[in-house]
Amino acid sequence: MYPILEKRYLAEGICLMKILAPRVARSAKPGQFVIVRATERGERIPLTVADFDAEAGSVTIVTQTIGVSTRKICALEAGEALVDFAGPLGHPSEFVGMAPEALHGRRYLFIAGGVGTAPVYPQVKWLHEHGIAADVIIGAKTRDMLIYTDEMRAVADRLYIATDDGSEGFRGLVTQLFEQLVAEGRHYDEVVAIGPMIMMKFVALTTKKYGIRTTVSLNALMVDGTGMCGACRVTVGGRTRFTCVEGPEFDGHEVDFDEAMRRQGMYRTEEQRRLAIEAERTAGHVCKIGLDR
């Protein structure tokens, strides 16, 4: 069991949890993920780590309630525990393994969308701690859905905000803001984009025009997360790769995003059916026509 040390909502449907998992905390690096199971009969859910503290033995995860399992995770409170918390899994971000001299003077731009802002944070923090300045764009639908702005401001060189409705910062998409920054003469050696698949697809299409190397972090479906099931396969540069053991970060210009998005929906119908049954059950309804079978 992995005790929940702290829990709070960052925005509607987005909750932060600090989990006591000393082994994971000691080994975690930016870019890696964990597999979480909330309850005994729960699903194994991959979540990218949002922060870690080796001394305190804690790892931070940020979850958005989108299905049965993410709801079950967010329904737990501080003082309760997750039944499983396995990791860290996947490769750390590329820069973690790069020589300091190769990193020095390299200009990074992070483009974070929605709940994807959380896993961007440890990357920017790591670069900041290693004396590398990085700019960050955080995008959200509206001001109330922005997360991690204060934390990010503390570690980013420049922080830009984009909201679809203009309620805070730039009004428009992260890709439009990016193009504006380039037009203003900002130079970037590398872009790292983490967010909804559709956002990463369009960021990659945009950066390609400017010839800027772009890394994306894929949130593919997984069962075990250790290389055993192959549910997370994705086409990168025409080759099938396993997100769990070869990723989760890949060259954004090589990823087949349309296939990746389609594959993410593989269990959606089944998932929605279960969600509906769960909601009905919670409301005390007993199905008489057998839909719950």
Partner 1 sequence: MANKIPRVAVREQEPAIRATNFEEVCHGYDLAEATLEASRCLNCKNPRCVAACPVGIRIPEFIEALGRGDLPAAAGVIARDSSLPSVCGRVCPQETQCEGSCILGIKGEPVAIGKLERFVGDWQLENEPEVPQIAPNGHKVAVVGSGPAGLACASDLAKMGYAVKVFEALHKIGGVLVYGIPEFRLPKERIVAREIAAVERLGVEFETDVIVGRTVTVDSLLDEEGYDAVFIGSGAGLPRFMGIPGENLNGVVSANEFLTRANLMHAYDETYDTPIYVGQRVVVVGGGNVAMDAVRTARRLGAEATIVYRRSEKELPARAEEVHHAKQEGIDFRMLTNPVEVLGDERGWVRGIRCVEMELGEPDASGRRSPVVKAGSEFEVACDVVIMALGTSPNPLLAATTEGLATDRRGCITADDEGTTSRPGVFAGGDAVTGAATVILAMGAGRSAAKAIDRYIRERNA
Positions touching partner 1 (CB under 8 A) are: 23-24, 27, 32, 37, 39, 41-44, 68-69, 72, 83-89, 223-224, 226-231, 233-235, 240, 242, 245, 259, 262-263, 265-267, 270-271, 274, 277, 292-293
**Following CA atoms 168, 172, 174, 176 in sequence, which dihedral angle do they give, to the nearest 10 degrees?**
-130
Q: How far is the CB of 224 from partner 1 (least distance, A)?
A: 6
Q: How far is the CB of 256 from partner 1 (least distance, A)?
A: 8
Residues forming beta bridges with residue 58, ordered by sequence position: 20, 53
Residues forming beta bridges with residue 241, ordered by sequence position: 234
3-state class (DSSP) for residue 220: coil
What is the number of alpha carbons within 13 Å of residue 196 lying toward its C-beta?
12
Q: How far is the CB of 132 from partner 1 (least distance, A)?
A: 25
Residues forming beta bridges with residue 11, ordered by sequence position: 14
Q: How far is the CB of 245 from partner 1 (least distance, A)?
A: 7
Question: Can you give the length of the chain in residues?
Answer: 293
Asked, as a colleague might, if the bond just before 196 is cis with ω within 30 of 0, I would say: no
Q: How far is the CB of 234 from partner 1 (least distance, A)?
A: 8
Given the complex with partner 1, which of 205 and 275 has the nearer CB atom? 275
Q: How far is the CB of 99 from partner 1 (least distance, A)?
A: 20
Q: From residue 24, how far is each of 15, 19, 27, 59 by CA, in Å? A: 20, 10, 5, 7
Given the complex with partner 1, which of 171 and 262 has the nearer CB atom? 262
Given the complex with partner 1, which of 191 and 234 has the nearer CB atom? 234
Given the complex with partner 1, which of 205 and 261 has the nearer CB atom? 261
Question: First and final CA of the chain: distance in angstroms?
Answer: 31
Contact partners, residue 199, CB within 8 Å, separation at least 6: 111, 113, 114, 116, 139, 174, 193
Q: What is the 3-state secondary structure (H, E, C) of 17-50?
A: EEEECHHHHHHCCCCCEEEEECCCCCCCEEEECC
Q: How far is the CB of 204 from partner 1 (least distance, A)?
A: 19
Given the complex with partner 1, which of 69 and 219 has the nearer CB atom? 69
- Cα–Cα distance for residue pair 18/61, rounded to 1 Å: 7
Given the complex with partner 1, which of 142 and 240 has the nearer CB atom? 240
Given the complex with partner 1, which of 183 and 289 has the nearer CB atom? 289
**Following CA atoms 90, 62, 268, 200 in sequence, which dihedral angle do they give, to the nearest 10 degrees?**
-70
DSSP alpha helix (H) spans, the chain: 22-27, 68-75, 100-103, 117-129, 149-155, 174-183, 197-210, 243-246, 257-264, 268-282
Q: How far is the CB of 230 from partner 1 (least distance, A)?
A: 4
Given the complex with partner 1, which of 154 and 266 has the nearer CB atom? 266
